[in-house]
Chains A and B, each alone.
Chain A
Amino acid sequence: MMLRSIYLKAIRDRWLGITVAAAAIALTNWMGVAAYKGIDEVALEAFDLMPEAFRELMGFDTSLGTTGMIFSEMVSSMVPLVLIGVLIAMAADAVAGEERWGTINVLLANPRGRRRLVAEKAGAFLTLTAVGCLLMWGGYYLVIALVGEDGSGMFLGSSTIHLAALALFIGGLTFLVGSWTASTLKAAATGTTVMIVSFFGAGLLPMTTWGGPWAKVFPWYYFDGAEPFSNGVAWDHVALLAGPGLAFLVLAAVVFERRDLKVGEERTTILDRLARNPRFSHLAERVAGRAMLGSITAKTTSEARTVLTIVGMSMFYMGAMIGPIFKGVGDKMSELVKAFPEEIMAMVGGADYGSPAGFYHGEIFSIVGPVAVAVLAIGMASRALAGEERERTMGVLLANPVSRTRVVLAKAWAMVLMVAAACLVTYLGVWTGSWLGGSGLSLANIAAVCTHLAVFSVFIGTVALFVGALTGVSRAATSAATLLMIASYAVANFLPLSPTWGGWAKASPFHYYASHLPLENGFAWGYLGILTAASAAFVGASVWAFRRRDLKG
């Protein structure tokens, strides 16, 4: 049934990812709401004590209760980042993926024109965007029903319409780049960059005195600039996102119709171009040449250079930005924070937003940093074994005198190195930001938080490695590690607020990463030891699992 058309097959291949994302979001949402509910009254009283200006700045709206606050946080950051992330992967793969895997030849050998191909793929993308939004929206009401609220005053539908419009814009752009360049990598990189940069641009610039108008440059501004969650749909903003989004899809059909089809993705990097120029070939060879092929570890790290560059640049950019921003708002904030009761501090992850360290923690190290670095780790680890099997290169690799154990260890080590590199860049970014903004962060504590980040990300990566080693299915590895990541975030952040369930937070790996607030308190060696031991155990289990089974490909 699902193989009757290109459209149906595209949906068949991708519905699971969307459903898992929606389920994970609903679960996180439910845990958050349920945990806050126990301290509803205290929290609300405390929030009412806050000055209006601060509530506005932080986006806290007490009129809707704590449930409303959790929802407003969720719908403005986690929901769009997760859903659009999944849709970017899908849109990047839609046309370019068929060329990358070489399946475009047999596909177009059937009586289907190129325009029809793009139309069906775009149709599937639109359908899955709609389904994803509806699932998210359904999840909101499920959570509301579970905790016995009525959801009045929350414009959940409006917020979902804005979500769909933003997804259409960024996904459409990704789809266009993929159809144009035949490169899934370029397409995904474009979509992700637009998503992350505009998320921060639209979110951080209004906090400065000069940046407000510039926020309107970013698509994200039209997603939540008009606060659809509290005010309902701003149709002009929706149109500004959805219009170009649809235009991108149409344009994709036009450019795809005109160009030569490719089979097998040929990546041309700057180094390749240098290498072709006889004047620079020697230099290029020294930079890229034998070193990257010297061993399994070297080759694996060199393959992840692009992702590392994106993650590293984002982390550096954020780290360097936060310092100057805090300089602008910090004084006001630390005054306000003094008036806050303890419960409030617990609600913002225990971070003291009035201090540079707390502000840094809340802005970078609470969600975005771990997500970015863990994405690098999960990507590398799930491709490490299962990816080589999927691409059928494991056969030739193991035709060489390398043991399975060595393959697992070399790939795990490559992941550790790249995560360490990303965290080193984060360190430099935060150091730069602290220097620019005169925040005076302790260098040892910056090192501590970056070490905690690295060790946590490596742990999440080793889980992906293990699932890949056990199953040989890279999607299973990615999904399992991502789910663990989201669940452990939810458990560590929301359970401590509940008097009955608080102790269970220690079951979450995230607890050992963040609860100690290393940027304020330095290294927690015991916690690092626990995460390191757990990582080592998963690597050991990966070796065991990978040695005992038949390999694919």
Chain B
Amino acid sequence: MTENPVIQISHLTKKYGDFTAVRDLSVDIPQGEIFGFLGPNGAGKTTTIRSVLDLIRPTQGSATILGLDTHEHSVKLRRRIGYLPGELAIYPALSGKEALTYFANLRGGVDWGWVDELARRFEADLSRKIGALSSGNKQKVGILQAFMSKPEVYLLDEPSTGLDPLMQQEFQALLREVTKAGATVFLSSHTLSEVERVADRVGFIREGRLIATERMRDLRDKALRRVSMQFAKPVKASALSAVEGVREVEVDGLHATVTYEGAMTPLLKAAASHEVLSLASSSVDLDEIFLTFYRGEANGVREEGARR
């Protein structure tokens, strides 16, 4: 797949008795990539991350990070990994500053100037006890602990949980900065909005299986778009529905709404043969394709429904 991937998961399977949480999952992530790991609740995202971190042991398969086996070299690797757990719990009796001091002592080599800079950017109050913080503010402390040692690899499990939109934006900016500097990010989420702005590639996991990996760019191209056109004279629906990529056409007098996927050029050419008075294109709607993945594979009937 990828040459010298920073994160390489090979045939990872984790079973709990009869229940298989993750099934034969393989993925390679190259340096500098933000890999969005998407799936509904209970799909196996957290189990995958915890297996990679050696908190739980895979039933079969393995993972390497930076070329090192994650089980064999787990301690050495953790120095180079920043991890933000999905259900974040930090010592409630410590203040944010104390908790970070503790982790910094265990980790070594933390630049406090960088920590202060992060705290300022996220407006994190580090003087209060973690037990007294709201979940969003606690999440900020979690983000700081994952980023404070400037690791080479980030494993982030639903990192935006509880953050307000401004902070989410700040967080996305931070992700771009660290990847620009060469870090690699594995970003798990159950909402597309959390990853769509930053991810280079996304993988969809469902019922423990990785059902698809797509470049974000390709996904956007695949996404459905809608164009509303106003014509000078009535146009027949059949004139537009035959165009390549068009999925659905609705004509109401002089007004036509066209849903299509892929490039817009064929549609524009077809429309230009009529007199177009105005044209409006609605934004990329990834959600629909995402829902298709969510509901789709195991239940082909609903795929149509998702596309409408």
Contacts and interface: CB of A to CB of B under 8 A. Distances in A.
Contacts of A553: 89
Given A266-B132, A392-B87, A403-B74, A398 B53 contact: yes
A550 B57 contact: yes
A398 B105 CA distance: 13
B83 A396 contact: yes
Interface stretch (A40-48, A295-303, A368-376, A484-492): A295-303
Contact of A401 (B75, B92, B132, B142): B75
Contacts of B106: 295-296, 397, 400-402
B203 interface: no
A295 B107 contact: no
B132 A396 contact: no
Given A293-B102, A398-B53, A550-B57, A265 B131 contact: yes
Given A293-B105, A399-B53, A400-B103, A267 B83 contact: no
A116 interface: no
A395 interface: yes
B145 A396 contact: yes
Contacts of B56: 550-551
Contact of A303 (B74, B93, B145): B93
B87 A551 contact: no
B241 interface: no
A267 B88 contact: no
Contacts of A550: 55-57
Given A265-B131, A393-B89, A295 B105 contact: yes
Contact of A264 (B50, B98, B132): B132
Contacts of A403: 74-75
A177 to B, nearest CB: 19
B103 to A, nearest CB: 6
B142 to A, nearest CB: 8
A284 to B, nearest CB: 12
Contacts of B87: 392
Interface string B43-58: 0000000100111110
Contacts of B107: 400-401
Nearest to B145: A396
A331 interface: no
A111 interface: no
B220 interface: no
A12 interface: no
Contact of B129 (A266, A395, A396): A266
Contacts of A114: none
Most buried by A among B75, B88, B94, B106: B106
Contacts of A398: 53-55, 78
B58 to A, nearest CB: 10
Given A293-B105, A402-B75, A396 B93 contact: no
A538 to B, nearest CB: 23
Nearest to A303: B93
Contact of B89 (A294, A392, A400): A392
A400 B78 contact: yes
Contact of B88 (A294, A396, A549): A396
A391 B74 contact: no
A contact residues, range: 20 to 34
A393 B91 contact: yes
A401 B145 contact: no
B78 A399 contact: yes
A294 B131 CA distance: 21
B269 interface: no
B308 interface: no
Contacts, number: 90
Contacts of A399: 53, 78, 81-83, 85, 145-146
A326 to B, nearest CB: 41
Interface in A257-278: 264-267
A286 interface: no
A395 B83 contact: yes
Interface string A400-413: 11110010000000
A290 B103 contact: no
A267 B98 CA distance: 14
Contacts of A393: 89-91
Nearest to B80: A401
A549 B105 CA distance: 26
Given A400-B103, A401-B79, A395 B131 contact: no
A293 B101 contact: yes
Nearest to A406: B75
Contacts of A266: 92-93, 129, 131-132
Nearest to A395: B85
Contacts of B50: 395
Contacts of B83: 395-396, 399
B76 interface: yes
A265 B55 contact: no
A395 B81 CA distance: 13
Contacts of B81: 399
Interface string A522-553: 00000000000000000000000000011101
Interface string B81-119: 111010111111110001001110111100000000000
A395 B155 CA distance: 12
Contacts of A402: 75, 78, 106
Contact of B103 (A395, A396, A551): A396
A296 B102 CA distance: 8
Interface in B131-160: 131-133, 142, 145-146
Contacts of B142: 396
Nearest to B94: A293
Contacts of B101: 290, 293
A395 B55 contact: yes
A403 B55 CA distance: 11
A293 B82 CA distance: 20
A532 B286 CA distance: 64
A401 to B, nearest CB: 4
21 contacts: A265-B92, A266-B129, A296-B106, A303-B93, A391-B91, A392-B85, A395-B55, A395-B83, A395-B89, A398-B54, A398-B55, A399-B53, A399-B78, A399-B81, A399-B85, A399-B145, A400-B78, A401-B107, A402-B75, A402-B106, A406-B75
Interface of B: 50, 53-57, 74-79, 81-83, 85, 87-94, 98, 101-103, 105-108, 129-133, 142, 145-146
- In order of increasing CB-CB distance, the 9 nearest A-B pairs are A264-B131, A392-B89, A399-B83, A550-B56, A401-B79, A293-B102, A400-B106, A401-B78, A395-B85
Given A393-B91, A395-B53, A396-B85, 6 more contacts: A294-B105, A295-B105, A395-B85, A400-B103, A402-B106, A406-B75
